[in-house]
């Protein structure tokens, strides 16, 4: 087993799968543009859902990439040896090509062959699906693993909470049984028998066999196209290959951890977990706020997640004696970008605006931080065993303390918290947008509903209308859809007039009234450019791309999905136009099903 850097692992992984007939595709934004079911990209398969459901991918049936992911479901685990909020996922996919046997063989080859990772088979174990009323015990996967040389004692059969993806099988979308690969991280020899509860067995790779589609109605039916979707955690593999005890010791984390411990905290005796939480959250905030679809702290959706991470970092750092929180983030974010700018090129250019936005957020929070700490002390002293749901809500609403922060502070005082009571109180007072955001913190699959497709198509119409009205120098800077509205960011140096907003509505609604067909074709990037398709040509597209043409009104490079005809959209209304940064404007718009015409609406300016 040879030591390896993160860059070397990225290159090796993709080189291996390219050698085995896969096409390398570019990773997607951390902030999904056309998926209202999730706030962030939580797995490499999210941008590929249309292709997993049968739509042909321009690059073919065998794909590989590196995908930035962010998950908040394990936030309580962040700070241990192996969990992080933001991470890189190495993935390979078969879209109706190879199945279980070849997928497992490829995994085994990459992990154990000397030319690739050269991991010892004696330190590897796996789990497979135990079976239930919907799908049988996965003896096929177990038999293939034994063919690879893995003894039966190293194969565990687990239920659908562990070996079905998504866990439990209750989410809608493509899904199926999986086999998870574990690596023994202990210094001693691995046990003969694999015990998944032993924490020294670290999950490093998951092979999902997407054989079913789960409808919103609850029906589970076989997919016409059987797929393989795999995900390997880059940080965990680098940790294992280098014989380290924590992902926070690997090359991409080490400079930030060293700066925090020796420079910022001046070599104070600090608990590892708290230092790791600070490093993790600074890294997550940096990744999201320097992303191509970057977001800023707010009270809703992705912005609320960033606000929570920033505030949790500030409270944790204050508890360790820190005071200059602006410096903590400014220099910490710079350190993160230094490690990743050669891989994610947009980070450097987006960093200054991100640092400014974080500093402004810190200033807002600092005003209530000390008062909130005093209030917490009062509440903690009067609470016998648990802090009530009402007090949790008070600390959130009046002082900006997310419930995770209060929970941690209460735990340090030996107290519990009444989370069910908090949720009841929270639901009573929460705004509609925040409630939707909370539901989406757990992640999910791309929304393939008609509503999602309608808003995606409307985004293309709006983009085309902006370019026709304001000039072809206008280009997309980011977009996001939910089942209730679309959001579109574009470059422009001034506020739009009411007349321009009305004209945009008229242009889009005219395209809807004309009932234009939406047609998809596959072509090369060069040909797409030649025929006038709009696209981010600075991106590293593959050999072929999908182009969606809407009559003679719009033509864009896009992965879909879309409606078949603009007549299905309803009436388009702009509800807000605002600045998000210097030179960047944002439009929010809705679709009113079943309505037509060009009546005007008072726009929030």
Tens of pLDDT, residue by residue over 508-544, are: 999 999 999 999 998 988 898 889 898 864 455 667 8
Closest CA to 278 of 318, 242, 229: 318
Which among 224, 212, 228, 86 has a CA at the least distance from the CA of 160?
212
Helix, strand or coil for residue 490?
strand
- Starting from the edge strand earliest in sequence, which strands make up the sheet with 544-550, in order? 518-524, 544-550, 554-557
Beta bridge mates, 585: 490, 579
411 contacts 404 by C-beta, under 8 angstroms? no
Q: Is residue 599 part of a domain?
A: no
The two beta strands, 386-387 and 173-184, are unpaired
Residue 201, SS3 per DSSP: strand
Residues 476 and 407 in one domain: no
Question: Could you give the percent of the chain with pLDDT greater than 90?
Answer: 56
Q: Kindly state the helix (H) or strand (E) to which residue 296 belongs, with its residue range.
A: none
Neighbouring CB atoms inside 10 A of 67's CB total: 25
pLDDT of residue 601: 40
Q: Would 605 be classed as within a structural domain?
A: no
Listing DSSP states for 222-263 in one string gives EEEEEEEEEEEEHHHHHHHHTT-S-GGGSTTTHHHHHIIIII
User: What is the model's pLDDT at position 38?
Assistant: 79
- Of the three residues 244, 262, 297, the one that is the final residue of a domain is 244
Mean pLDDT for the chain overall: 88
Q: Could you tell me where the DSSP H helices lie in 492-581?
A: 498-513, 525-530
pLDDT at 369 > cutoff 90? no
Q: Is the dihedral of CA 492, 493, 495, 500 positive or negative?
A: negative
Q: Of 440, 473, 495, which marks where a domain is finished?
A: 440
Count of structural domains within the chain: 3
Q: Residue 604: is its pLDDT beyond 70? A: no
pLDDT at 384 (0 to 100): 81
* 167 lies in the same domain as 257: no
Residues 401 and 285 placed together within one structural domain of the fold: yes
Residue 597 lies in a domain: no
Of 408, 440, 472, the last residue of a domain is 440
Measure the CA dihedral 525/529/534/537, to 10°: 60
Rounded Cα distance, 405 and 383, in Å: 17
Residues 422, 497 share a domain: no
Quick one: which of 545, 505, 485, 451 has its CA closest to 60? 545
Across 579-594, b (16+ Cβ under 10 Å) vs e yields: ebbeebbbbbbbbeee
What's the pLDDT at 166? 80
E-strand spans in 105-251? 124-129, 155-158, 164-165, 173-184, 201-214, 220-233
- What's the pLDDT band for 595 if we cut at 50, 70, 90? low
* 68-80 per-position pLDDT tens digit: 999 987 777 898 9
Q: Assess if residue 390 is contained within a domain.
A: yes
- 216 with 353, same domain: the answer is no
**404 and 486 part of one domain:** no
What is the three-class DSSP state of 116? coil
Domain that holds residue 205: 6-244
Q: Give the strand pairing for 554-557 and 86-95.
A: unpaired
The answer, yes or no, to whether residue 433 has pLDDT greater than 50, is no
**Least confident stretch, 2-11, 215-224, 406-415, 547-556:** 215-224
CATH of the domain at 481: 3.30.980.10
Residues 240 and 257 in one domain: no
The pLDDT assigned to 481 comes to 84
Average pLDDT estimate for 28-40: 80
Instruction: Note whether 399 and 547 are same-domain residues.
Output: no
- Using 50, 70 and 90 to split pLDDT, how confident is the model at 599? very low
Pair 276, 30: CB distance under 8 Å: no
SS3 511: helix
- Those residues with Cβ within 8 angstroms of residue 375's Cβ, 6 or more apart along the chain or in another chain: 394, 395, 398, 399
229 and 258: one domain?
Answer: no
The mean-pLDDT minimum among 142-156, 191-205, 249-263, 357-371 falls in 357-371
| Structural domain includes residue 601 | no
Judge if 356 and 229 occupy the same domain.
no
Q: How sure is the predictor about 218, in pLDDT bands with cuts at 50, 70 and 90?
A: confident
Give me the percent of the chain exceeding a pLDDT of 70: 92
Alpha-helical regions (H) of 448-589:
450-470, 498-513, 525-530
How many other CB atoms sit within 10 Å of the CB of residue 56? 15
Predicted confidence (pLDDT) at residue 461 exceeds the cutoff of 50: yes
At residue 447 the predicted structure's pLDDT band, cuts being 50, 70 and 90, is: low
**pLDDT for 8:** 96
| CATH number, domain with residue 152 | 3.30.930.10
Q: Please name which of 56, 61, 67 lies closest in space to residue 14, comparing C-alpha atoms.
A: 67
Tens-digit pLDDT profile for residues 380-413 = 888 888 899 889 888 887 787 878 788 888 888 8
Confidence of residue 1 (pLDDT cuts 50, 70, 90): low
Domain assignment of residue 585, yes or no: yes
- What does the pLDDT read at residue 569? 92
Give Cα 553 distance to the centre of its chain. 32
Q: Under DSSP, is residue 520 helix (H, G, I), strand (E, B) or coil?
A: strand
444 pLDDT above the threshold of 90: no
* Whether 116 and 97 share a structural domain: yes
Whether 313 and 330 map to the same domain: the answer is yes
Distances from the Cα of 529 to the Cα of 319, 460, 538, 540, angstroms: 55, 17, 12, 14
Residues present in the chain in total? 605
pLDDT of res. 406: 86
CA distance 23 to 19: 9
Residue 1 lies in a domain: no
What values do phi and psi take at 80, rounded to 5?
Answer: -80, -165
Q: For residue 602, tell me if it sits in a domain.
A: no
14 vs 37 pLDDT, higher one: 14
The C-alpha atoms of residue 246 and residue 235 are separated, in whole angstroms, by 9
């Amino acid at each position: 087993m040879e030591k390896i850097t993160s860059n070397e692992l990225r290159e090796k992984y993709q080189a291996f799968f390219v050698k085995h007939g896969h096409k390398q595709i570019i990773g997607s934004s951390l902030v999904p543009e056309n998926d209202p079911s999730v706030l962030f990209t939580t797995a490499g398969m999210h941008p590929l859902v249309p292709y997993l459901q049968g739509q042909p991918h321009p690059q073919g049936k065998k794909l590989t990439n590196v995908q930035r992911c962010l998950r908040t479901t394990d936030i309580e685990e962040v700070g241990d040896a192996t969990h992080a909020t933001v991470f890189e996922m190495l993935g390979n996919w078969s879209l109706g090509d190879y199945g279980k046997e070849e997928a497992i063989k490829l995994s085994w080859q990459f992990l154990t062959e000397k030319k690739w990772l050269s991991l010892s088979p004696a330190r590897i174990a796996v789990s497979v699906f135990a079976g239930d009323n919907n799908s049988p015990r996965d003896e096929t996967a177990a038999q293939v693993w034994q063919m690879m040389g893995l003894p039966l004692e190293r194969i565990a059969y687990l239920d659908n909470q562990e070996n079905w993806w998504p866990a439990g099988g209750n989410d809608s979308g493509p899904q199926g049984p999986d086999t998870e690969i574990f690596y023994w991280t202990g210094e001693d020899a691995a046990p003969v028998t694999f015990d998944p509860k032993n924490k020294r067995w670290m999950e490093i790779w998951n092979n999902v066999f997407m054989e079913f589609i789960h409808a919103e109605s609850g029906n589970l039916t076989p997919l016409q196209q059987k797929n393989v979707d795999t995900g390997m955690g880059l940080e965990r593999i680098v940790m294992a290959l280098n014989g380290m005890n924590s992902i926070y010791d690997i090359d991409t984390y080490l400079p930030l951890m060293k700066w925090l411990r020796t420079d910022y905290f001046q070599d104070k005796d600090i608990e590892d977990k708290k230092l790791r939480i600070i490093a993790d959250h600074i890294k997550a905030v940096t990744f999201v706020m320097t992303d191509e679809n970057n977001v800023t702290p707010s009270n809703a959706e992705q912005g609320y997640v960033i606000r929570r991470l920033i505030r949790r970092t500030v409270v944790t750092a204050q508890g360790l004696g820190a005071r200059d929180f602006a410096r903590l983030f400014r220099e910490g974010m710079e350190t993160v970008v230094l490690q990743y700018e050669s891989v994610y090129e947009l980070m450097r250019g987006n960093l200054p605006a991100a640092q400014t936005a974080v500093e402004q957020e810190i200033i807002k929070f600092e005003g209530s931080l000390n008062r909130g700490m005093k209030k917490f002390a009062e509440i903690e002293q009067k609470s016998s065993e648990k802090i009530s749901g009402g007090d949790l809500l008070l600390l959130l609403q009046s002082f900006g303390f997310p419930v995770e922060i209060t929970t941690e502070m209460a735990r340090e005082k030996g107290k519990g918290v009444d989370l069910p009571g908090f949720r009841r109180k929270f639901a009573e007072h929460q705004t509609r947008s925040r409630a939707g955001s909370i539901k989406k913190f757990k992640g999910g699959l791309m929304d393939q509903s008609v509503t999602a497709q309608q808003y995606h198509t409307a985004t293309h119409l709006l983009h085309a209308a902006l370019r026709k009205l304001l000039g072809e120098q206008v280009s997309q800077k980011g977009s996001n859809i939910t089942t209730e509205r679309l959001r579109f960011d574009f470059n422009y140096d001034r506020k739009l007039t009411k007349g321009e907003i009305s004209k945009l509505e008229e242009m889009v609604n005219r395209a809807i009234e004309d009932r234009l067909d939406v047609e998809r074709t596959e072509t090369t990037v060069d040909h797409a450019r030649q025929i006038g398709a709009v696209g981010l040509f600075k991106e590293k597209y593959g050999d072929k791309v999908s182009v969606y043409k809407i009559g003679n009104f719009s033509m864009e490079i896009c992965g879909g999905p879309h409606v078949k005809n603009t007549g299905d959209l309803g009436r388009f209304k702009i509800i807000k136009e605002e600045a998000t940064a210097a030179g960047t404007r944002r439009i929010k718009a809705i679709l009113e099903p079943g309505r037509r015409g060009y009546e005007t609406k008072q726009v929030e300016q």
